[in-house]
Amino acid sequence: MSTYRHIPWRPGVTLERLNSFAKDTMVETLDIVFTELATDHVKARMPVTAKTVQPRRILHGGASVVLAETIGSVAANACLDDEHSAVGQEINANHLRPVKEGDVVTGVGRLVHAGARSQIWHIELFDSAEQLTCVSRLTMAVVKRR
């Protein structure tokens, strides 16, 4: 039995809408683009470029975390009504293998828990050869908008 949940997308959520939140943000700066929206997952990709590598010319772990948190955060907010917002509370990441400059990483986010006050997302990152490069868990606090 899967531990992942059906994602309760808010009516009207589309890839175009998810990508529209990137304007003038780090998401746009790092060229993160949402590519797939399904009932049980969401996908986004990020190129491994000079913007996202460390001095050894491999993907910076912090950039992996930015991609993971972007996927979970945008998805979490796309499940909530206008009165609530999801904000990052905790994230962890296990970096499993390096990704070389010139490659692309794809993240797949799946909902583990959706409660009245929190959501938990599991995000896996893969290189272009579909090798698992990073595993992350993101906890989002659900708060009333001010």
Q: Pairing state of beta strands 42-47 and 104-114?
A: antiparallel
Active site residue 69: yes
Adjacency order of strands within the sheet including 84-95: 33-37, 42-47, 104-114, 118-126, 132-144, 84-95
Token couple for 38: 């399904």
* Among 69, 83, 90, 130, the one annotated catalytic: 69
Residues forming a β-bridge with 126: 106, 132
Three-state DSSP at 76 gives helix
Residues identified as active-site: 69
